[in-house]
Structure 1
Amino acid sequence: MDVPSALPVADPAPADGSLPASALDELGSRPFGVYVHVPFCAVRCGYCDFNTYTPGELGSSASPASWLEGLRRELDLAAHVLGSPPAADTVFVGGGTPSLLGAEGLGSVLAAVRQSFGLAPGAEVTTESNPESTSEQFFAGILDAGYTRVSLGMQSAAQHVLAVLDRKHTAGRPVAAAHEARNAGFEHVNLDLIYGTPGERPEDLRASLAAVLEAGVDHVSAYALIVEDGTALARKVDRGELPAPDDDQLAAYYEMVDGTLSGAGLHWYEVSNWASSEAARCRHNLGYWQGGDWWGAGPGAHSHVGGVRWWNVKHPARYSAALARGDSPAAGRETLSAEDRRVERVLLELRLAEGMSVRVLDEAGREQARRCAEEGLLAPEALVGGRCVLTDRGRLLADGVVRRLLP
């Protein structure tokens, strides 16, 4: 779960981080995950609007050491706030570039999670990694530390596409890194792709997909490029130096991605994610999509427990300073109403291959579901009040289907 650079505006959060009793009533009855946000990057990619900082941007105001000390304090605070916290079913270390911490640093992160929460038997433990900051020794080290899954940022196998995205690794490095991870003993390895970058040709995407399959990974995430406001890429598009992504081209590329991966035995389980088996699915992300609970630790990280959602201050220096004072680093929070939670179920569950029950919808939404089924956007089960499951065509228009189901 990458942390956006802009945080929402809502109610202030209490300085002690306490939660209402109602939020804790069913703690442990739903999947519980821990997300750790590592805010450091060697350089900033032109398309990225995540809450990340390069060394030049931070100067002496923050460091990985001060961030790690703050993280330990936040995890201890979390355990105190939750009372008897459930052991983490999943842990996901994202960024930023977690692999910049090295195997030893990532081992320290997981040790802190273990100390505050513990890990459930068979817990899934993922770290994101950039291919250029990994090695055989790195993968062996994090496997030994207890990580069970690696997600590598590939984006493209075409060097000119990587250049537009300001990615610094060479085109062949992600595949080599995936082989290194698998050789080290990782059964579960993901590669991230971005399609629709200005200048990307169909043959470029085909080459990227061929490289993914050659890597032998069991999971692929593929996202259409979004030109986010405030990024270097957005400024180039605004100046006319690069064209904006074309919706028809993005749809054609999505079909290419899905057809190629499905043909190779990687099947979609969420609109932008494919896995070779149920065991290969990312359980941590499924927790988000299925309404689980999680504590997000680190600058800008978001959390959700029992219908209460909150988010931390963004800057690493402010984050560490708050925790050093004994305060929660939360910048704001909101308590979701029953209607808020229903709307979020539609937004998230509809993206899954198993879809959602029609009963989640109100009367107007159920009528729209029937119409969407008649138009081939939802499977026929929606016509008889069963489940809303996106068809292949519906996946291409998923955002529009959601808007119709939430009239």
Structure 2
Amino acid sequence: MIFASCVCVLASLLWDYVFRSGHRKALLLGSLVLTILSAAGLNYYENAFPGLVLSGWDGLYDWKGIAALIWLLAFFLALPCLIVVALATAVHRFWHRKDVPAPRGMTRRTFVKGLAAVIPAAAFATSGAGNILGESDLDTTYHVLTYKNLPDYLDGYKIGQLSDLHMGLFFSPRRLQESIDAVAEKGVNRLELTGDLIDEIVLLPKARDIIAANAHRFPDGIDFCYGNHEYYRSFSAITAMLEDTPVRILRNASFEASPGYGQGLKGRRGSDGRPFYIAGTDYSFAQGEEAFAKQREDYVSQTLDGVPDDAFVVMLAHHSAFIDEAFERQIPLTLCGHTHGAQFAPIGPLVTAVGFKYLRGMFRKGESRGYVNRGTGHWLPFRVLCSREASVFELRKQA
């Protein structure tokens, strides 16, 4: 609340400096009061959420919470623009201290004032659209992947991926059902969940019921690897919930989905005796680039221990950095999440520069692919040019 209030006050002061509204006190007081009410409202919603769920409430989200987010994020969006405009204004005023007759038509002063007027409107419009559409829009992406050495019984095999659902304040059980429907309707053979499933533990029973009720829609099962939020929230409670469903948990482990010839897969037969494995790594919390790389290598070694060299492998890893190890080991397909695709597309290059080499989408090296889902959900719904995503992958044998 303190931080949001400081941003609000600074943005309001900068806007008043540029625009010279003549109502500084009223502007500051009004903005500050609404900011404090918004921050307090979000805090109340978070604290009241468990009680709402336990009382039977099954809304998609709380409109008051969305409205508070729109208000608060608008100031964060406007502040960088206002800083630039205010600096330009200060320089201009310093060099034009003497009173001179105002020329006719558009002047620098009127242009700057016009720009100052546009910034808040643009910030609130972006915040409003980003939060409302970010919460509601789901893009089901479909990817056809061809491989020279794909076992024939996997030709046409479909794999669905959901990642980073973050069930909680702004991702409801109904959104989970919609996401499952999105991939199931594509006729996928199996579903992969690549971590960060749930943030509000009170939703565990509803998550369990939805997953259990829909498991039959994925003939070859549902697989899961851990993300960082499983550890942040309640590792034991989330694990217990998943163990009460048909979901297979993979923690630095793999399993033989088919020993070859399509055995063990529903409706799959072929003449290729090479096996098909699903593997899943744990989440690495190692600090420092060298330690992080070392632990990733250790985790992948554990995960693939016992997997035959000629197996076709699909590996799950919450953090997209594991794509490096997958490429090094020539794993055909690695599915990741974690980055949310940056959610706000304009900052994508900055997010990549600070450490996410694989931010979103498909990456390829030779016959190996790595895919970073941009998040089926989110803990904060604000998204601009980076919608929520459910992914479907169809494997094809290259002719």
TM-score (norm 1): 0.30
**Structure with larger Rg:** 2
Q: Which has the higher helix share?
A: 2
TM-score (norm 2): 0.30
